[in-house]
Structure 1
Amino acid sequence: MLNSFRNIALACALSMLAGYVDGIGYLHLGGLFVSFMSGNSTRMAVSLAGGDWPVVGQAFMVIVLFVIGAACGSLIVLGRRSYRQPWVLLAEAMLLVIAGLCHAFGLAIYAIAAIVLAMGLENAAFQVDGGGGLGVTYVTGALVKVGQLIGSALAGGARFAWAPNLLLWAALVLGAVLGALAYHWINLASIWFAAGFAFALCAVAALTEPQ
């Protein structure tokens, strides 16, 4: 999937968007993530062991919403033959708009719910037929591939095959920095920047869709 400049650039942009939104969500939720469910699963388990039931419930609901978002993204992809990525990104952008409106009307809990759904849905942007594909809201897999492909390069394989996956990681980190700065500046209203960026990526994906 990271086999063209177009796909690498779009994947990195989506990873940066996910990092931005996750930085916002992490600060707002006090240590829970909106796109990194491995971290939330560990937090839920530790809280379960410690009897911290409010955190257990909160983490569990975030995980459920993320899975629902991923399922909705899959339905969009599987229901269309063309312009799959633009439709996924349009749906994501609309969810982020809903999140911004919910915050504006003082409904922060619904804003977070819409954000988590958007993050789950975003992972369908590079979904292949039959399910699976490239995850762009978490980078553990990308870092594993960096290490594996570096090992392959040292053994005589492609010298820079690891670079696109490293770029995915760097993009997410940069996005998280920007998200944290924006949250400290204007709180959850910072999600409007994410919505605008998602709309822009939707347009770019539509204009550059391979024919």
Structure 2
Amino acid sequence: MIKKIRLHSTMPFYLLFIAGIVDAIGFIHLKNGLFISFMSGNTTHVGILLTSGNVPQAWHYIGVILLFVFGAAVGEAIALSNRPFYRSTIMALVSAVLIITLCVEPIYSPIVTNFLLSFAMGVQNIALRLTIEKATALTYVTGFLVNTGRSIAMLLMGKGTSSTFFRHFNSWLAIFIGAIVGTHVMDYSFRYALVVPIVLTLIASGILFWTHEVEDD
């Protein structure tokens, strides 16, 4: 059981690593500055595009935001069911959506694949929604950096711990390294690159199934 608890505690960093890969793949695939899971940047882009009169392009960003929110809603609905295997079920759904994306990519335009990827990342945000910070979404990178800064200040003031600092910093580092990996795999092709997060999410689903009895922090 101790081994399961330790493995479970590393899952947020693993999922952040996957999110970084997928975000980089989607960003490079569409080539227009649209992020898969960075909704702050997408929201800013919507405001800029609507102000400049580029409404058709703005709808691409709006669509990604809406599907991300819908994915989070679906993931939360699964979590609220209180089933023992809700985490592994959520990650299995993420894997399924990524596989569907791989299948439809040759048929539909790139924006459709990015819509699907954004939905998948919205779902994944709920997989371990209580294991990082109860009020922090999985891909809220700004939050990790803010908390890193706060933990530095607390250390300097003698009120914090190094473990808290490294937890926040490593959360940011995981998605950063994932983005590097995602960029490298896109040197080959979108279809080849997408196989990487599919395999990683399937592994995550298996691990979460095995550690299903571990309680959230």
Work out whether the TM-score is over 0.5. Answer: yes
- Equivalent residue runs for 1:8-23 within 5 Å: 8-23=9-24
- Equivalent residue runs for 1:189-200 within 5 Å: 189-200=192-203
CA shift at 1:42, angstroms? 0.5
Report percent identity of matched pairs: 29
Report which stretch shifted further, 183-192 or 113-122: 183-192
Give the whole-Å Cα distance in 2 for the aligned partners of 1:50 and 1:81.
47
Give the whole-Å Cα distance in 2 for the aligned partners of 1:146 and 1:7.
22
Q: Which residue is equivalent to 1:152?
A: 154
Q: Which residue is equivalent to 2:38?
A: 36
- Equivalent residue runs for 1:114-125 within 5 Å: 114-125=116-127
Residue 125 of structure 1 aligns to a residue whose secondary structure is coil
CA shift at 1:107, angstroms? 5.2
After superposition, the C-alpha distances for 1:94-141 in whole angstroms (9 at most, x for unaligned) are 11111111114455443222211100011111235xxx6442223111
After superposition, the C-alpha distances for 1:137-174 in whole angstroms (9 at most, x for unaligned) are 23111111111111111111233111111111111011
CA shift at 1:210, angstroms? 3.3
Kindly tell me the number of residue pairs found equivalent between the two proteins.
205
Question: Unaligned 5+ residue runs, structure 2?
Answer: none
After superposition, the C-alpha distances for 1:33-62 in whole angstroms (9 at most, x for unaligned) are 010000000011111121122221111111
- Does the Cα contact within 8 Å between 1:76 and 1:88 map onto a contact in 2? yes
Residue 187 of structure 2 aligns to a residue whose secondary structure is helix
Give the whole-Å Cα distance in 2 for the aligned partners of 1:79 and 1:189.
35
Q: Which residue is equivalent to 1:210?
A: 213
Residue 196 of structure 1 aligns to a residue whose secondary structure is helix
Q: Which residue is equivalent to 1:45?
A: 47
CA shift at 1:209, angstroms? 2.8
> Normalised by the size of structure 2, how large is the TM-score?
0.87
Q: Which residue is equivalent to 1:182?
A: 185
Give the whole-Å Cα distance in 2 for the aligned partners of 1:88 and 1:198.
10
Residue 185 of structure 1 aligns to a residue whose secondary structure is coil
Q: Aligned letter for 1:123?
A: N
Q: 1:167 aligns with which of 146, 170, 185?
A: 170
CA shift at 1:188, angstroms? 4.2
**Structure 1 vs Structure 2 CA RMSD:** 1.8
- Does the Cα contact within 8 Å between 1:126 and 1:135 map onto a contact in 2? no
Give the whole-Å Cα distance in 1 for the aligned partners of 2:6 and 2:152.
20
- Does the Cα contact within 8 Å between 2:129 and 2:138 map onto a contact in 1? no
Q: Which residue is equivalent to 1:102?
A: 104
> Normalised by the size of structure 1, how large is the TM-score?
0.90
Give the whole-Å Cα distance in 2 for the aligned partners of 1:168 and 1:5.
16
CA shift at 1:76, angstroms? 0.7
Q: Aligned letter for 1:172?
A: I
Question: Unaligned 5+ residue runs, structure 1?
Answer: none
Give the whole-Å Cα distance in 1 for the aligned partners of 2:69 and 2:10.
26
CA shift at 1:80, angstroms? 2.7
- Does the Cα contact within 8 Å between 1:19 and 1:175 map onto a contact in 2? yes
Q: 1:65 aligns with which of 64, 67, 76?
A: 67
CA shift at 1:88, angstroms? 0.9
Give the whole-Å Cα distance in 1 for the aligned partners of 2:101 and 2:28.
16
